[in-house]
Structure 1
Amino acid sequence: MAAKKGSSGVAVLLNGAGFLVAVLMVMHILFVLVNVPNTRLADSVGQAAVPLALFFPGLIDTPSPVLQVLVDFGLAAAFWMVLGALLAKVLG
């Protein structure tokens, strides 16, 4: 990933951190959607994703447990992407 011309290292770092947390959320969603058995990787991703999802789990109720995970962690992924970009713009 190439940095934009004129971007500081702090901006790139903040944007990258937001992106990495969002990737973690998406990995958790994919593991749930595909029904990955309880492996070390799936458990580790799930344990890391739950506290990073902040207040999003349970914010919107859905009838399906799989759809609930998709909405909860999808909103959290979008939040971390936006937060990383905003912080990069303001502080970088």
Structure 2
Amino acid sequence: MAAKKGRSGVATLINGAGFLLAVILVLHIVLVLFHLPSENGLADSVRGAAEPLALFFPGLIQTTNAQLQLLFDYGLAAAFWVLVASLLARVFG
């Protein structure tokens, strides 16, 4: 019976960081879709963190629906960060 290779701590840390970045982007989507007031400190902080994390994805796919545009812009960025973190975890783990 072959022994399973365990994950290194570096791989777990990289995956966790990618997941955290994706959570910030998804939280921004949820806060905007539920129309949380921008005067709220949490919503403003999440927006401030999500905008630079979205990289080049905002406007990459154009739609006429504002909610769908938000999902494309920040949802693709969240998927990108999870994918990049997963690939880096494989390389360094």
| Structure-2 residue corresponding to 1:22 | 22
Identity of aligned residues (%): 63
SS of the residue 1:63 aligns to: coil
Q: Which amino acid aligns with 2:20?
A: L
Calculate the aligned-residue CA RMSD, in Å. Answer: 1.3
Q: Which runs of 5+ in 1 are unaligned?
A: none
Runs of 4+ in 1 over 3 A off after TM superposition: none
**Normalising to structure 2: TM-score of the pair?**
0.91
Which structure's CA Rg is the greater one? Answer: 2
Q: Which amino acid aligns with 1:84?
A: A
**Normalising to structure 1: TM-score of the pair?**
0.92
| Structure-1 residue corresponding to 2:82 | 81
| Structure-1 residue corresponding to 2:91 | 90
Q: Which amino acid aligns with 1:14?
A: I
- Paired residues, number: 89
Q: Which runs of 5+ in 2 are unaligned?
A: none
With over 3 angstroms needed to count, the CA separation of the structure-2 counterparts of 1:64 and 1:13, relative to structure 1, is: same
Structure 2 CA distance, aligned partners of 1:69 and 1:37? Answer: 16
